[in-house]
């Protein structure tokens, strides 16, 4: 069975059993503690935690997942991979252990001719948590297996928890026996022998005092017992396709085949090469899927992970002997296989390819620069008579310059050197431990939504009327302060207020929350912020500006600031217009990756690998203004996510959308169609104006456009007009001639600056001539060691070289420039003095030790600096003593 058929049968099996098919969420996790979705249950986490009410009792999904903690082990074993697909079926308080076991066993063992997977029952072994006698009894009852065929395992293997207080429960896994060639009989810890491919989590316990994932207290039973299962698609694929591991399945091995053609190497002939082939197959696919979901390469977070994956793939091809650009040859192969399921890969291919290939080009330049840095480090090692490159140097090459350790090892061997690998690995381990500590510190930072959950359960969802009105008569449902309920807030105090109905827009989709006031009998509140801490509940952060607010206050009137809302609508519709204009000018692959808008201002981030030209920015602004002038109609409608995509609506990367109903906003019909929950104008002309104020980089492969809209846009243009007016008055010219007039002034200024620089240099060199006459004879060597106040950097070097050129016998020069409290050092020694053993490098290092600095270079010219001027005279005297010591031998 090919992978797509395995996937199809899984979904069909559970749909037939009353499960709602839920499409994969983006691989970008909305959970602040996660970079990526690491398991199929993550999109359903709010339901398991009781933060949201599930819209269905049963669900089935095939979720895109990425796990990267073991990235260094990818390819070294056949179990580790970064991107994978997790098939899961879920029950939210509906069926429990018995039905979960029945459904899993039926699909796994049912003959392929009947729609199942056809695994032989005599090769299957269920495992259970050692204390879960109920599960043992159910497995026996449902499968008829004898007691000895059911493995009992401990907490590490068969108890599920998130590592924080909350739900948990025992697990049952389905293992397949691959035979004695993969390990000893009955050794269930040997994963290659008894391979786990399906995990059934029986979520039944409420965990407290969680000290680790295996050390916790069970406070009691959950009020609703849930089922969360995870089945590894790639594992089932390689077992049903008769191959050895996940890298050889139908959606991955074609990449290895192409890599073999390019490199001339053969998979299966050499273990080290096999590791590299697997890295290529895994990382090419993972990178493509990450870029498809909107990740761009960067130096931190998700972008850093993507950068590592891409560079490891390129590096592995280089180690296989292929040094030409590899991704344009490999990634289309992966696309053709994965697009059978994920059609958006084909639709977005231009963007995906541009990001991936651009990163490879950048890395190839990095390799070139890193090679030069390595060569310098290797030269220093050899010059010192050593044969080992320090672990610190290898780590700096890896961490600072992105230079892979494998290449460092390879190049060191070519030069007859070895690398201090233990030192390098220790530094890498320290880095990983710091990362783990940071991640652990973030654990438990889930906002405690218990109080909000209670409000929602008691009162139902907020009646949200932001699309319909700017005012509502409302009733208080809860008053909160410091994370808990309070009876009153006094004047000047800040708290949270939950109303039964509200006209206020809660911050979401890049749009800032509404501003306004809430009046009540005897007082007024200023609305500072509006949020949705859990789905369905709107919470207002308020400050009491008049009176005292009680939890049962009467006569509440919630009023959105009309001016604020108008500006917000203009900015949000303006964002859609700029996005459409951007795609019209640059092409459909220029997709928005993030946005923010508040009244009168918008910014839009989009994936692009190079700066826009002034002409492109101007054209984007012109297309936007034409859309406003055309008075395009703005409309919105509700439909399923699938219908919206078929309609051509654009979804923002990383956003989570309700598959049962989404809101599509269109401007000018198909010209701009986007999924959006924001507030908008009714016609594009109501935006007023769009003035682009800037375009800049916000990271590798990502750009940002900023603009003003409405009155703020006119104000910006008015300020520019005032500046132009002031300049034309000052320069006594007309606006049309202003640029030429300023350019003429700049040219004249540059000419004057050059004249001043020539005069300054002449004066400086004249001082150098005077220094020659003051040279001190030290054992037949003319030594000039002088302090020059007001000189720095290039001036000091110029002076030192000039003085050296004027010495007509063995000579050594050390100039110490002092400016702004810093010392600039340059040493220059002519050939005759070097023959006597005098070195500029030694002189600069000597003076550097006196001025709290350092430096170095070659024997003829060296330079450095320092920050302590107090011992400079002593240091210059030491120069004479050093020359006397060396030349007197």
User: Looking at residue 638, what is its pLDDT?
Assistant: 92
User: Looking at residue 444, what is its pLDDT?
Assistant: 40
CB 654 within 8 A of CB 303: no
**What is the rounded CA–CA span in Å between residue 436 and residue 229?**
27
In degrees to the nearest 10, what's the CA dihedral of 858, 859, 863, 866?
Answer: 110
**What is the rounded CA–CA span in Å between residue 676 and residue 666?**
9
CB 310 within 8 A of CB 362: no
Q: pLDDT over 90 for what percent of the chain?
A: 63
User: Residue length, the chain?
Assistant: 889
Q: Is the pLDDT of residue 83 over 90?
A: yes
User: Looking at residue 447, what is its pLDDT?
Assistant: 46
What digits encode the pLDDT tens for the residues 463-518? 999 999 999 999 999 999 988 899 999 999 999 999 999 999 999 988 999 999 99
CB 688 within 8 A of CB 710: yes
Q: Any idea what the CATH number is for the domain that residue 238 is in?
A: 3.30.930.10
DSSP string, 566-603: HHHHHHHHHHHHHHHHHHHHH-TT--EEEEEEETTEEE
What digits encode the pLDDT tens for the residues 19-28? 999 999 889 8
Phi (first) and psi of residue 677, to 5 degrees: -110, 15
Q: Which residue has 């040859």 as its token pair?
A: 329
Residue 736 resides in a domain: no
Task: List all residues 6 or more positions away from 402 whose beta carbon is below 8 Å from its beta carbon.
Answer: 307, 311, 363, 366, 370
DSSP bridge pairs for 479: 497
CB 499 within 8 A of CB 477: yes
Q: Any idea what the CATH number is for the domain that residue 526 is in?
A: 2.40.30.130
Q: Is the pLDDT of residue 654 over 90?
A: no
Instruction: Give the range with max mean pLDDT: 575-579, 608-612, 739-743.
Output: 575-579
Q: Dmax of the chain from CA atoms?
A: 107
* Neighbour order of strands in the sheet with 634-639: 634-639, 662-667, 672-675
**What is the rounded CA–CA span in Å between residue 174 and residue 188?**
12
Q: Any idea what the CATH number is for the domain that residue 845 is in?
A: 3.10.310.40
What digits encode the pLDDT tens for the residues 26-38? 898 776 667 899 8
**What is the rounded CA–CA span in Å between residue 273 and residue 647?**
46
DSSP bridge pairs for 709: 690
What digits encode the pLDDT tens for the residues 368-377? 777 778 888 8
Exposure string (b/e) for 50-59, b if CB count within 10 Å is 16 or more? bbbebebebb
Question: In terms of domains, do 45 and 177 share one?
Answer: yes
Q: Is the pLDDT of residue 194 over 60?
A: yes
Mean pLDDT of 819-838: 93
Question: In terms of domains, do 421 and 472 share one?
Answer: no
Alpha helices in 295-390 (DSSP H): 301-319, 327-338, 344-347, 349-383
Q: Any idea what the CATH number is for the domain that residue 687 is in?
A: 3.30.980.10
Mean pLDDT of 725-741: 92
Residue 727 resides in a domain: no
Phi (first) and psi of residue 833, to 5 degrees: -70, -35
Q: Is the pLDDT of residue 395 over 60?
A: yes
Question: In terms of domains, do 406 and 530 share one?
Answer: no
The reply, when asked if residue 572 is annotated as ligand binding, is yes
Q: What DSSP state is assigned to residue 122?
A: G
Question: In terms of domains, do 427 and 313 share one?
Answer: yes
Question: In terms of domains, do 460 and 424 share one?
Answer: no
Q: First and final CA of the chain: distance in angstroms? A: 85
Name the nearest CA neighbour of 423 among 374, 463, 388, 453.
Answer: 388
Name the nearest CA neighbour of 230 among 198, 195, 196, 191.
Answer: 198
**What is the rounded CA–CA span in Å between residue 576 and residue 667?**
8
Residue 743 resides in a domain: no
Question: In terms of domains, do 230 and 257 share one?
Answer: no
Q: Is the pLDDT of residue 293 over 50?
A: yes
In Å, how far are 494, 521, 522, 540, 554 from 488, measured between CA atoms? Answer: 11, 14, 13, 15, 13
| Better-scored residue on pLDDT, 497 or 402 | 497
Question: In terms of domains, do 207 and 279 share one?
Answer: no
Question: In terms of domains, do 77 and 190 share one?
Answer: yes
Question: In terms of domains, do 539 and 597 share one?
Answer: no
Q: Which residue has 């089922």 as its token pair?
A: 227
Q: pLDDT over 70 for what percent of the chain?
A: 96
Q: How many CA atoms lie within 13 A of 210 on its CB side?
A: 19
Number of domains in the chain: 5
Burial class (CB in 10 A: 0-12, 13-18, 19+), 696: exposed
The model's confidence at residue 759, banded by pLDDT at 50, 70 and 90, is confident
Total H helices, total E strands in the chain? 25, 36
Task: List all residues 6 or more positions away from 879 whose beta carbon is below 8 Å from its beta carbon.
Answer: 783, 785, 812, 814, 843, 846, 847
**What is the rounded CA–CA span in Å between residue 138 and residue 513?**
52
Give the chain's radius of gyration (CA, Å). Answer: 35
Q: Is the pLDDT of residue 598 over 50?
A: yes
Residue 734 resides in a domain: no
**What is the rounded CA–CA span in Å between residue 478 and residue 463?**
15
The reply, when asked if residue 680 is annotated as ligand binding, is yes
The reply, when asked if residue 576 is annotated as ligand binding, is yes
Residue ending a domain, among 687, 704, 719, is 719
Tokens of 189: 């810890």
CA 231, chain centre distance (Å): 27
Question: In terms of domains, do 607 and 640 share one?
Answer: yes
Kindly report the three-state secondary structure assignment for every residue of 513-530. Answer: CCCEEEEECCEEEEEEEE
The model's confidence at residue 56, banded by pLDDT at 50, 70 and 90, is very high
Question: In terms of domains, do 556 and 570 share one?
Answer: no
The reply, when asked if residue 398 is annotated as ligand binding, is no
**What is the rounded CA–CA span in Å between residue 755 and residue 872?**
33
Task: Please state the pTM of the whole predicted model.
Answer: 0.67
Residue ending a domain, among 416, 442, 468, is 442
Strand duo 672-675 + 690-697: pairing: unpaired
Phi (first) and psi of residue 488, to 5 degrees: -165, 155
Q: Is the pLDDT of residue 9 over 80?
A: yes
DSSP string, 138-171: HHHHHH---GGGSEEE-HHHHEEE-SSSEEEEEE
Residue 724 resides in a domain: no
Burial class (CB in 10 A: 0-12, 13-18, 19+), 76: middle
CA angle 393, 395, 399 (to 5 degrees): 125
User: Looking at residue 443, what is its pLDDT?
Assistant: 41
Residue 728 resides in a domain: no
The boundaries of the domain holding residue 395 are 253-442
Question: In terms of domains, do 556 and 580 share one?
Answer: no
Range from 72-76, 104-108, 876-880 carrying the lowest mean pLDDT:
72-76
SS3 221: strand
Q: Which residue has 């200024």 as its token pair?
A: 749
What is the residue-averaged pLDDT of the chain?
90
Q: Which residue has 């911050």 as its token pair?
A: 507
Residue ending a domain, among 669, 701, 719, is 719
Alpha helices in 608-694 (DSSP H): 614-629, 641-646
Residue 379 resides in a domain: yes
Mean pLDDT of 724-750: 93
Exposure string (b/e) for 823-839, b if CB count within 10 Å is 16 or more? bbbbbbbbebbbebebb
CA 537, chain centre distance (Å): 29
Q: Is the pLDDT of residue 402 over 80?
A: no
Residue 365 resides in a domain: yes
Q: Is the pLDDT of residue 850 over 60?
A: yes
């Amino acid at each position: 069975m090919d992978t797509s058929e395995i996937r199809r049968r899984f979904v069909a099996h559970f749909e037939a059993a009353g499960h709602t098919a839920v499409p994969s969420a983006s691989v970008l996790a909305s959970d602040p503690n996660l970079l990526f979705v690491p398991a199929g249950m993550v999109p359903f986490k709010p339901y398991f935690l009781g933060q949201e009410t599930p819209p269905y009792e049963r669900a089935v999904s095939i979720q895109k997942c990425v796990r990267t903690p073991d990235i260094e082990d990818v390819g070294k074993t056949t179990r580790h991979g970064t991107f994978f697909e997790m098939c899961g079926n879920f029950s939210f308080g509906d069926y429990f252990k018995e039905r979960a076991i029945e459904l899993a066993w039926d699909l796994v063992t049912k003959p392929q001719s009947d729609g199942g997977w056809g695994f032989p029952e005599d090769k299957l072994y269920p495992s259970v948590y050692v204390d879960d006698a109920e599960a043992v009894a159910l497995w026996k009852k449902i499968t008829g297996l004898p007691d000895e065929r059911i493995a009992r395992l401990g907490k590490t293997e068969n108890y599920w928890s998130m590592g924080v207080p909350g739900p948990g429960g025992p697990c049952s896994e389905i293992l397949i026996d691959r035979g004695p060639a993969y390990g000893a009989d009955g050794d269930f810890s040997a994963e290659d022998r008894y391979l786990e491919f399906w995990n059934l989590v029986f979520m039944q316990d409420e965990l407290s005092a969680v000290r680790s994932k295996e050390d916790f207290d069970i406070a009691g039973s959950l009020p609703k017992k849930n089922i969360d299962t995870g089945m590894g698609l790639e594992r089932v694929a390689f077992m049903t396709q008769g191959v050895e591991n996940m890298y050889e399945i139908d959606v991955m091995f074609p990449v290895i085949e192409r890599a073999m053609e390019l490199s001339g190497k053969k998979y299966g002939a050499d273990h080290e090469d096999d590791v590299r082939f697997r890295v290529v197959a895994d990382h090419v696919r993972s990178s493509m899927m990450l870029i498809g979901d909107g990740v761009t390469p960067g130096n931190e977070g998700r972008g850093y992970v993507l950068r590592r994956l891409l560079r490891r793939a390129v590096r592995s091809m280089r180690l296989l002997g292929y040094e030409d650009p590899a991704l344009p040859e490999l990634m289309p192969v992966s696309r053709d296989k994965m697009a059978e399921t994920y059609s958006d890969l084909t639709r977005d291919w231009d963007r995906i390819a541009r990001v991936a290939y651009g990163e490879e080009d950048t890395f190839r330049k990095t390799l070139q620069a890193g090679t030069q840095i390595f060569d310098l480090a290797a030269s220093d090692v050899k010059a010192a008579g050593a044969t080992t490159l320090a672990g610190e140097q290898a780590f700096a090459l890896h961490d600072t310059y992105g230079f892979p350790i494998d290449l460092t090892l390879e190049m060191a061997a070519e030069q007859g050197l070895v690398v201090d690998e233990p030192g390098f690995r220790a530094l890498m381990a320290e880095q990983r431990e710091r990362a783990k500590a940071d991640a652990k510190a973030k654990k438990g930072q889930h906002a405690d939504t218990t109080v909000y959950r209670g409000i929602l359960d008691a009162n139902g969802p907020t009646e949200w009327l932001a699309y319909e009105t700017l005012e509502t008569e409302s009733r208080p449902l809860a008053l909160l302060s410091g994370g808990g309920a309070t009876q009153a807030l006094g004047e000047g105090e800040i708290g949270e207020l939950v109303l039964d109905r509200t006209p206020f827009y809660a911050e979401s989709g890049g749009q800032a929350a509404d501003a306004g006031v809430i009046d009540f009998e005897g007082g007024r509140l200023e609305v500072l912020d509006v949020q949705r801490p859990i789905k369905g509940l709107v919470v207002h952060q308020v400050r009491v500006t008049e009176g005292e607010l009680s939890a049962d206050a009467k006569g509440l009137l919630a009023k959105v600031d009309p001016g604020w809302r108008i500006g917000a609508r203009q900015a949000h519709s303006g964002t859609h217009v700029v996005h459409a204009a951007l795609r019209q000018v640059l092409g459909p692959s220029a997709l928005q990756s993030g946005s923010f808008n508040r009244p009168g201002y918008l910014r839009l981030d989009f994936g692009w690998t190079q700066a826009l030209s002034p002409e492109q920015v101007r054209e984007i602004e012109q297309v936007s203004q034409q859309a406003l002038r055309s008075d395009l109609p703005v409309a919105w409608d509700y439909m399923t996510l699938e219908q919206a995509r078929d309609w051509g609506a654009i979804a923002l990367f990383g956003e989570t959308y309700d598959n049962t109903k989404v809101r599509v906003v269109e401007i000018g019909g198909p010209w701009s169609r986007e999924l959006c929950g924001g507030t908008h104008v009714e016609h594009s002309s109501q935006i007023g104006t769009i003035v682009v104020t800037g375009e800049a980089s916000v990271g590798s492969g990502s750009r940002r456009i900023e603009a003003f809209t409405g009155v703020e846009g006119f104000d910006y243009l008015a300020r520019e007009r005032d500046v132009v007016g002031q300049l034309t008055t000052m320069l006594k010219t007309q606006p049309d001639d202003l640029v030429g007039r300023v350019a003429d002034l700049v040219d004249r200024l540059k000419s004057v600056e050059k004249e001043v620089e020539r005069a300054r240099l002449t004066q400086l060199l004249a001082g150098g001539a005077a220094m020659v006459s003051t040279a001190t004879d030290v054992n037949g060597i003319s030594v000039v060691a002088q302090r020059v106040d007001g000189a720095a950097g290039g001036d000091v070097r110029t002076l030192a070289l000039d003085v050296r050129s004027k010495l007509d016998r063995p000579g050594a020069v050390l100039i110490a420039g002092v400016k702004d409290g810093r010392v600039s050092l340059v040493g220059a020694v002519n050939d005759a003095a070097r023959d006597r053993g005098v070195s500029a490098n030694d002189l600069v290092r000597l003076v550097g030790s006196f001025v709290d600095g350092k430096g170095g270079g070659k024997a003829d010219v060296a330079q450095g600096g320092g920050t302590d001027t107090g011992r400079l005279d002593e240091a210059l005297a030491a120069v004479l003593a050093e020359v006397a010591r060396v030349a007197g031998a």
